Amino acid sequence: MRTEIISAKKNLPLFFSPALILIVLFVLFPVLQTIYISFFSSSGEFVGLDNYHDVLTSKEILNLGDVSQGLSQPYGLGALVHNMLWILIHLPLSMFSGLALAIILRDVKGASVVKSAIFLGMVTPMIVGGLILQFTFEEGVGIVNGFFNILGLEQLTRTWTAHPETALFAVIFGSVWLWTGFSLIVYSAGLATIPREYYEAAKIDGATPFRTFFRITFPLLKPMTLVVITMTLLWELKIFDIVWAAVGEGGGPGQASNVLALQMYVWAFRSFDFNRAAAVATILTALTLVVSVWMIRYMVKK
């Protein structure tokens, strides 16, 4: 289908200038300014990569000094490692539970109600989501500990978000609960595009459900998998409100559940160390750009 109208050169400014002005003033210029100040000291001297060196050797960001102590040492393993743990645990769990649920719900009466219930976490303000997590993991009132009691695991009952060893994991697992709705919705939309005949043919050929999944369903859902991975990675790198609300703005007990975005805020708006904060923001942005460039390259190749 032809989509372009070539004539209208003189009207370009009319269509583009409002958007460009807003983006240049409030997005592009601030981005460049952040990169710029990340190379200067707070007194305005050019210091090259010193801020980056400072940041990457600070205990807040990377704390691998005594790995055997893990998260129980002050600052845990550092915000950068915490973000990576977030990716390692949260990405596969939320992605595959969304996929599994999408497949199960295909043949369920009232599936849309179930989907809406699971999707509720995606429309909840993340600051409220974080508070609900804290409540759910609270000793006494929270249902997580209620389950441990029923299972006879009394030694596990505690306020999970209040202990450095468990706070990070509590928040990560809790956010799987909040985010699974996303992969469920994307995979459900993808499944709807696969013709039923494929499955009927597979059944006639006597393929096992296992084989059908790996030969038909999963390969045909590849574009959705790509979208889910990209958006989930970006979400995990940018994570902020949930941690703030669930364990506190300092990054929780002993800062053991601190993340990059939160540490940036603390340095910028609590210590007013704008230059160091700018270096953290730039590192975080570099990570998100790696993810999106990977995605764009894949789409262009296709």
Partner 1 sequence: MDDQVYGEKMKIRKSTIIVHIIAWSVALIWVLPFLGVFMAATRPWGEISHGWWNFAEFNPTFENFVAAWTDERASIAVGMLNSFLVAIPSTVMPMLVASLAGYGFARFSFPIRNYLFLTIVLIMAIPQQMIAVPIFQIMSSLGLVSNYIGLILVHSAWGLAWIILFMRNYFLTLPVEIEEAARVDGASDFKIFYKIVLPMALPALASVAVLQFMWVWNDFFLAQILIYDPEMLLATQRVSRMRGQYIVSWDLLSAASILVMIVPVLIFALLQKYYIKGMVGWTVKG
| Binding residues for partner 1 restricted to 14-73, rule: CB under 8 A | 14-16, 18-20, 22-23, 25-31, 33-34, 37
Cα distances (angstroms) measured from residue 53 to each of 17, 47, 186, 217, 231: 40, 11, 40, 47, 29
Other CB atoms within a 10 A radius of the CB of residue 87 amount to 17
CA distance 127 to 124: 8
Shortest gap between Cβ of 162 and partner 1 (angstroms)?
10
Q: Which of residues 152-211 bind partner 1 (CB under 8 A)?
A: 177, 182, 185-186, 189-190
Query: Which CB atom, from 81 or from 126, has the smaller least distance to partner 1?
Result: 126
CA distance 280 to 259: 11
Q: Which of residues 83-102 bind partner 1 (CB under 8 A)?
A: 101
Among 43, 44, 68, 123, binds partner 1 (CB under 8 A): 123
**Burial of 205 (C-beta count, 10 Å sphere; 0-12/13-18/19+):** exposed
Shortest gap between Cβ of 260 and partner 1 (angstroms)?
8
Among 4, 45, 154, 197, binds partner 1 (CB under 8 A): 4
Shortest gap between Cβ of 27 and partner 1 (angstroms)?
5
Among 88, 117, 153, 201, binds partner 1 (CB under 8 A): 117
Q: Which of residues 127-156 bind partner 1 (CB under 8 A)?
A: 127-128, 131-136, 138, 140-143, 146
Shortest gap between Cβ of 165 and partner 1 (angstroms)?
20
Using the 8-state DSSP alphabet, how is residue 72 labeled? G
Stretch that binds partner 1, among 61-69, 72-80, 195-203, 293-301 (CB under 8 A): 293-301
Query: Which CB atom, from 71 or from 224, has the smaller least distance to partner 1?
Result: 224
CA distance 271 to 266: 7
The answer to whether 78 contacts partner 1 (rule: CB under 8 A) is no
Query: Which CB atom, from 71 or from 266, has the smaller least distance to partner 1?
Result: 266
The answer to whether 109 contacts partner 1 (rule: CB under 8 A) is yes
Shortest gap between Cβ of 82 and partner 1 (angstroms)?
15
Cα distances (angstroms) measured from residue 37 to each of 45, 48, 267, 276: 10, 10, 14, 9
Using the 8-state DSSP alphabet, how is residue 124 labeled? S
**Long-range Cβ contact pairs of 138-146 (< 8 A, separation 24 or more):** none
The site map against partner 1 for 230-259 (x = CB under 8 A) is: -x--x--xx-xx--xx--x-----------
**Collapsing DSSP states into helix, strand and coil, what is residue 225?**
helix
Shortest gap between Cβ of 237 and partner 1 (angstroms)?
7
Residues in contact with partner 1, counted by CB under 8 A, come to a total of 103
Tokens at residue 52, please?
A: 């980056």
Q: Which of residues 252-291 bind partner 1 (CB under 8 A)?
A: 260-261, 264-265, 268-269, 274, 277-278, 280-282, 284-285, 288-289, 291
**What string of DSSP letters covers 145-208?**
HHHHHHTT-GGG-S-GGGSHHHHHHHHHHHHHHHHHHHHHHHHHHHHTTS-HHHHHHHHHTT--
Cβ atoms of 48 and 38 within 8 Å: the answer is no
Shortest gap between Cβ of 148 and partner 1 (angstroms)?
12
